[in-house]
């Protein structure tokens, strides 16, 4: 086993304890309205965190995800509105064709993918530390989104677009289904494909991977591309919930995404991380902030609590490794 049973269970038990604790502490927690709102609120970060998991496993990091989310959201929604923009003051979306929504979502995902590939290419070809590269692209991509939209949100998106972020299928939030599907795909990639295995090997020892004949640069770039793709998808969900394309969306989202991976047992040194761990990490943070809201705890205290949880989770993990 890559990790002991205890270590696998500890974050999960924490999540369960938190869940049960909140059921006892407040009657408003275990209601379908509240639970589905938790799912909707956390879905965007969760999906980004899954992409981030792959990048962190290769020993990299992507600080630019918040900006990618905004750019993908803007270009995706602009695609949807390109038909109506010309007709000026039309009320939202009546003129658009039936294809504009899926086309816009596809554009958003594609934009994210390209941005991710750019990060990967810069990191591997110029041999610059990914922290620096993505710090740079964080600013570049954000700037690009602002220039593109002139700093104004993209309005008048088709009504049907709201289904992506706010719709339900048989009472289940649609975003939950998307999240589960993404999680399943990322899990299969990491545990059952060559690409996933190479990601672990590259993160554990890039030199050994290179000497074993693995095309390290190519696979690293692909991983960044996938991370960007998932971030693009997250960007479209965020836009759908806001029903606008916001060039300022997603600021600071990279931190909770990284935190979710780390709480879930991922290591910034590379070679460690899992889908289940990241999901647990993301939900622990989601429940903490939801619980604080319901219990009327100040948002300032919330932030401090989540910060403490991050440090606690990682120190427990480090302690286990030393034994």
Q: Residues interacting with another protein, by CB under 8 A?
A: 1-2, 192-195, 197-198, 200-201, 204-205, 207-215, 271-272, 323
The Cα–Cα gap between 181 and 172 comes to 14
Beta carbon nearer to another protein, 37 or 204: 204
Residues with Cβ within 8 Å of residue 244, at least 6 apart in sequence: 77, 153, 154, 155, 157
CA within 13 Å, CB half, 37:
12
**DSSP assigned state of 168:** E
CB of 191 to another protein, least distance (A): 9
CB of 155 to another protein, least distance (A): 42
Q: Is residue 74 within 8 Å of 250, Cβ to Cβ? A: no
CB of 5 to another protein, least distance (A): 12
Q: Is residue 59 within 8 Å of 48, Cβ to Cβ? A: no
Q: Is residue 47 within 8 Å of 101, Cβ to Cβ? A: no
Beta carbon nearer to another protein, 112 or 270: 270
Instruction: Provide the b/e sequence for 254-282 (b: ≥16 CB within 10 Å).
Output: bebbbbbbbbbbbbbebbbbbbebbbbbb
Beta carbon nearer to another protein, 198 or 253: 198
CA 1 to chain centre: 27
Beta carbon nearer to another protein, 12 or 210: 210
Beta carbon nearer to another protein, 200 or 253: 200
CB of 76 to another protein, least distance (A): 28
């Amino acid at each position: 086993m890559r990790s002991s049973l205890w270590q696998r269970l500890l974050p999960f038990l924490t999540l369960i304890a938190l869940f049960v604790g909140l059921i006892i502490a407040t009657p408003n927690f275990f209601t379908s309205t509240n639970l589905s709102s938790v799912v909707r609120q956390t879905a965007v970060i969760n999906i980004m965190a899954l992409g981030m998991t792959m990048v962190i496993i290769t020993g990299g990091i992507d600080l630019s995800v918040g900006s990618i989310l905004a750019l993908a959201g803007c270009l995706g929604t602009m695609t949807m509105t390109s038909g109506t923009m010309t007709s000026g003051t039309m009320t939202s979306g009546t003129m658009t064709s039936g294809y504009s929504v899926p086309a816009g979502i596809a554009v958003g995902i594609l934009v994210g993918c390209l941005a991710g590939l750019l990060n990967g290419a810069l990191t591997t070809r110029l041999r610059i530390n990914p922290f620096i590269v993505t710090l740079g692209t964080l600013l570049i991509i954000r700037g690009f989104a602002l220039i593109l939209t002139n700093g104004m949100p993209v309005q008048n998106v088709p009504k049907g677009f709201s289904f992506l972020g706010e719709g339900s299928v048989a009472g289940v939030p649609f975003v939950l289904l998307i999240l589960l599907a993404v999680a399943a795909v990322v899990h299969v990639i990491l545990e059952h494909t060559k690409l996933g295995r190479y990601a672990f090997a590259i993160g554990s020892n890039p030199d050994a991977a290179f000497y074993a004949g693995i095309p390290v640069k190519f696979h690293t770039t692909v991983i960044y591309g996938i991370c960007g793709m998932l971030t693009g998808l997250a960007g479209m969900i965020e836009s759908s919930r806001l029903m606008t394309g916001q060039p300022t969306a997603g600021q600071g989202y990279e931190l909770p995404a990284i935190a979710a991976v780390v709480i879930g047992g991922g290591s910034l040194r590379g070679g460690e991380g899992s889908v289940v761990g990241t999901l647990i990490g993301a939900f622990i943070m989601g429940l903490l902030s939801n619980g604080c809201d319901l219990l009327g705890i100040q948002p300032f205290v919330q932030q401090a609590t989540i910060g403490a949880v991050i440090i606690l989770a990682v120190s427990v993990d480090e302690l286990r490794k030393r034994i």
